[in-house]
Structure 1
């Protein structure tokens, strides 16, 4: 006689119970990580008087965006009371080109290293990969000297260059590993049809690179947006 747990109905009930516990655990973890964000948003919508008298985690009685406007336009977060706006847009101007350029160059490197192999390709990839193990602190001095030599010290363009070069090792690793899983016959067939290096890259490889491109963009964006050391140097 079959055991109770071997019956289809029993397995279905166990699966439902397990899924309920799984979703409950995921909900608790999500609530744990989102609680500080909720407290921050709730607090920002309270008046100064309510902050002094109310509970930290309580919802605001009267919603007010006055603090948001003050922080954006008038808060003294630097030398002058200019608010967060100029600093935010300065970060956007730095992050967007850094992410796009490093992702594009990483895709191009990964494509060349996997589908157009040349003598020393593995050695070159190893040298590029070594760059992902170099800590920020090790490149601060040579980076500053190089930017000074190029006349880019203290400029947004200099920061873009630094983040592109430093992130190139990671993006190349991402795309190289992704393109390894794509059959070489696809590139060979396109070559036989007369497609060249860049035609294959733009019309075949990039359109099927959406998953790894999203990974690369998220990685580079979070790394560059959260960086303080390069900007302060």
Structure 2
């Protein structure tokens, strides 16, 4: 009897759902395929152009694979590409971008986490008004604030310096960072905070021992957004970084738009890929964490 029941119930559990190729499913796959082609085709052209010689590029077939593979354009872009009168490549810009991006990512995340923690759990008097004023700053165009910031930084001897550009990135990122952390912390049960207060926890202790360890998903989201934004920035780096701290984006513009000599398209493409390599790597490595952070409440509220 037991064997008979097992045999009778086996088809029920062994049955697999079959996928039907409905018009809606076909439309979704067609959209995804076309979107992938749309975004990957320029990257493909950049890659194949960067490993071709100039003689082969002048033949005009930009979609063809290289007949003679070469990495000389990559070496030239890194070590000897001309940015105006200087021909030192973009390697110095890479170190400048790192020195700008690392503190400009860590400091805003810490301040945004503190602001979101205070606004979500401690709720001081006038918190909503302060938060509203802070959000207004997120809608002010960067170009409107450049001249006042230049005057302010010049008056305190921070203009055209590394601390100055880090301060500027921190100021412009505070509204978004505060919004991200405030909305994320609003999804955490308030009873946890109340229990920590009953146990004698203060402002700093609750933040460090309770709230911060629970913030890994939103910290990853904030880090990806902030690092990508700072790394890809051009206008702020051009105005505030100074000649000794120009980021890769500014040097890339100087390489591509140089008017001296022959325009080397393979070197330009290699320099472009080298400049975008850090954000691309970050998205490929941390993309899963980014999606988890968004799904955990990063944009709720």
TM-score of the pair, normalised by structure 1: 0.89
CA deviation map 1:171-203 (0-9, x unaligned): 001111111111111111122223222222122
Q: How far is the alpha carbon of 1:25 from its aligned partner?
A: 2.3
Cα RMSD (Å) of the superposition?
A: 2.0
Name the CA distance, whole Å, in 1 between partners of 2:175 and 2:159.
23
Aligned residue in 1 for 2:126: 120
Q: Which residue of 1 aligns with 2:204?
A: 198
Structure 1 stretches of 4+ with a deviation exceeding 6 A read none
Structure 1 residue 163, shift from structure 2 partner: 0.5
Equivalent of 1:98, from 100, 104, 113?
A: 104
Q: Find out whether 1:49 has 2:51 as its counterpart.
A: no
Q: How far apart are 1:13 and its partner, in Å?
A: 4.2
Report deviation, 1:133.
1.1
Shift of 1:19: 4.0
> How many residues are paired up?
224
Q: Which has the higher contact order (CA 8 A, sep 6+)?
A: 2
Once residues 115 and 228 of structure 2 are traced to their aligned partners in structure 1, the CA distance between those partners, rounded to angstroms, is 22
SS state at 2:58 partner: helix
Gaps of 5+ in 1: 1-8
Q: Which residue of 2 aligns with 1:136?
A: 142
CA-to-aligned-CA distance 1:15-40 (integer Å, 9 cap, x gap): 67644542342122112111101110
> For 1:43-86, what per-residue CA distance to the aligned partner results, in whole angstroms no more than 9, with x for missing partners?
10112222123610111122211100001000002441110111
**Could you tell me which residue of structure 1 aligns to residue 186 of structure 2?**
180
Return 5+ residue gaps in structure 2 as ranges: 1-14, 240-301
Residue 4 (structure 1) aligns with: none
Cα displacement (A) at 1:90: 0.8
Partner of 1:5: none
The residue aligned with 1:68 is 74
- Secondary structure, aligned partner of 1:209: helix
Mean CA deviation greater in 151-160 or 186-195: 186-195
Q: For 1:119 and 1:130, how far apart are their aligned partners in 2?
A: 19
Q: TM-score normalized by structure 2?
A: 0.69
